Amino acid sequence: MNAYDKNAAGVVIPDAQLLADEAQWSSFGDTVHYVDPPKIFRHGEGSWMIDTAGTRFLDLQMWYSAVNFGYGNKRLNDTLKNQIDVLPQVASQYLHQTRIELAKTIAVDAQNKFGLKGRVHFNVGGAQAVEDSLKLVRNYTGGKSLMFAFEGGYHGRTLGASSITSSYRYRRRFGHFGERAMFVPFPYPFRRPKGMTPEEYSDACVRQFARLFETEYNGVWDPKVNQAEYAAFYVEPIQGTGGYVLPPMNFFKDLKKVLDQYGILMVVDEIQMGFWRTGKLWSIEHFGVTPDIIVFGKALTNGLNPLSGLWAREELINPTIFPPGSTHSTFNSNPLGTALGLEVIKMGYELDYETSVPKKGAHFLEGLRDLQKRHKEIGDVDGLGLAMRAEICTDDGFTPNKALLDKMVDIGLAGDLEHNGKKIGLVLDVGGWYKNVITFAPSLDITHEEIDLAIALLDQLLTKAKKAM
């Protein structure tokens, strides 16, 4: 046992007992049991997780991009500790200072960037913020409940969020979703049709979408009253769970022209890509379009206390159209979360992540491309800022190879890699349409030395996994 084993009461429970109790008393309905046996960690610091044996694991997914600023970030931890002593909780029908400050900070930032006045509404988790956005859209559009979303898109697993998430497996066992979204092709450059450039593929996807509005018989548009059956288009600027797919840079500008022409709202899901993951506060900033709604969560509090929310332009959310009681959550705008969120945004601008993240991302991407030259099983490498992807394939460099990536994940979590004569582990996240993509979301404070180590460990990991197949 090491110094990190004790819980808050000073009690040490061995891994074997914890796993036995978990197997008997915990639901298996979450994703913990994708790995057998589930992995137990005892401590986190910076880019690292430490297990019971004291083995260090370099984490390249940081809690699905929720811990953008590293485990045990002193500035944020101190903010949480200070807030506990001042105002740890308050009923959500009352106001407190950091709730108002955080809403103003986000709204003023959006107004400066997009030229639109707007307001901010808080909730707890990302899926709950998506639910609130669905209410906002339905309310503004007179009750329209049909949405567009992308193939490969992911917006959460609540019932409403599942209806706009393309994976049928998240809906299959829970009845008929009569209001499920119409899922539209997303330009996936690595798997584009032969003979097309990425930009041509992007153009083709936009044209295919625009065709829906050509005549009333294409299915979504009534030209007699100039009204669409669909209310909004839910987009991830870079697909998250779908495999960190980065579309051509012209895609969203072209798509937004079609949406504006036919009165379709653009709702941008920044739950994974927000808070400087791509080098901007919002990843949509890279694409030169103005959203109607932005949904956010995860890294807003560095994973320390759940808080999510949305920004919407004034016409959609002003108190006349969206009055008190339109939606509610007991723990929304909780003081611990809003204090952390305010500090995260202050810290992000003060430490200039807009400069440091692109530099680190370029360094990481260079290492991945060098790795690709040495392993033909890496079919595609791409990224923006510190949101990167490596698509694992067979030795033809294109056919998805889920089995090889699964083996890599298992070896990485076993902690049997080596560095400077010591055992070391690697934490990876699996994503992608074929579950064959490593989605890299390291700490934004990862050092260049840790990036070099990550590349070396990935090289070692790939070599071991291929031998084990």
pTM (predicted TM-score): 0.96
In the predicted structure, residue 165 carries a pLDDT above the cut 70: yes
Q: Are 428 and 389 in contact (CB under 8 A)?
A: no
pLDDT tens digits for range 86-124: 999 999 889 999 999 999 999 999 999 999 999 999 999
Crossing angle for the helix pair 251-261 and 198-210, nearest 10 degrees? 10
pLDDT band at 10 (very low <50, low <70, confident <90, very high): confident
Note the pLDDT of residue 12.
82
Report residue 1's pLDDT band, with 50, 70 and 90 as the boundaries: very low
Is the model more confident about 30 or about 150?
Answer: 150
Rg of the Cα atoms in the chain: 23
State the Cα angle at 108 between 294 and 281, rounded to 5°. Answer: 50
Long-range pairs for 136-139: beta carbons < 8 A, 24 or more residues apart: 136/293, 136/310, 136/312, 136/316, 136/317, 136/322, 137/231, 137/232, 137/265, 137/267, 137/293, 137/316, 138/231, 139/321, 139/322, 139/326
Evaluate if residue 60 carries a pLDDT over 60.
Answer: yes
Amino acid making up residue 211: R
Amino acid at 217: Y
pLDDT at site 213: 97
Mean pLDDT score across all residues of the chain: 95
Least confident of 33-37, 78-82, 104-108: 33-37
pLDDT at 8 over 70: no
> Can you give the pLDDT at residue 6?
63
- 38-46 average pLDDT score: 94
Q: 364: which 2 tokens?
A: 């990481």
CA gap 143, 136 in Å, rounded: 10
Whether residue 251 contacts residue 202, with contact meaning beta carbons closer than 8 Å, is answered with: yes
* Distance (Å, whole) CA 365 – CA 397: 18
Mean pLDDT to the nearest integer, 253-280? 98
Segment 408-426, tens digit of pLDDT: 999 999 999 999 999 999 9
Distance CA 43, CA 6 (A): 10
Tell me which H or E stretch contains 436.
Answer: none
Residue type, 457: L
- DSSP per-residue codes, 137-189: HHHHTTS---EEEETT----SSHHHHHTSS-GGGTGGG---TTPPEEE----G
Q: Is the pLDDT of residue 3 over 60?
A: no
How confident is residue 33, by pLDDT bands cut at 50, 70 and 90?
Answer: confident
Please give the Cα distance from 69 to 12 (Å, whole number): 29
The answer, yes or no, to whether residue 5 has pLDDT greater than 70, is no
Reported confidence tier of residue 11, pLDDT bands at 50, 70, 90: confident
From the list 237, 308, 309, the residue with the least C-alpha distance to 266 is: 237
* Tokens encoding 298: 């995860």
Give yes or no for a contact between 33 and 26, defined as CB atoms under 8 angstroms apart: no
- Overall average pLDDT of the 23-30 stretch: 89
The pLDDT value recorded for residue 7 is 65
Question: How far, rounded to the nearest angstrom, does the alpha carbon of residue 107 sit from its chain's CA centroid?
Answer: 21
For 70, the enclosing helix (H) or strand (E) is none
Residue 344 main-chain phi, psi, to 5 deg: -60, -45
User: How far, CA to CA in Å, does 389 sit from each of 239, 248, 354, 461?
Assistant: 11, 15, 20, 16
Give 129's contacts (C-beta < 8 A, 6+ positions apart).
123, 271, 295, 296, 297, 308, 309, 310
Q: State how far the Cα of 441 lies from the Cα of 303, in Å rounded to an integer.
A: 14
Mean pLDDT of 267-275: 98
* CA-closest candidate to residue 234, choices 128, 155, 310, 299: 155
134-161 pLDDT, tens digit per residue, is 999 999 999 999 999 999 999 999 999 9
User: What percent of the residues of the chain are helix, what percent strand, and what percent coil, each to the nearest 5?
Assistant: 40, 15, 40
- Is the peptide bond between 248 and the residue preceding it cis, with omega within 30 degrees of 0? no
Range 379-391 average pLDDT: 98
pLDDT for position 9: 64
> To which residue do tokens 């393309």 refer?
166
> How many CB atoms sit inside 10 A of residue 192's CB?
18
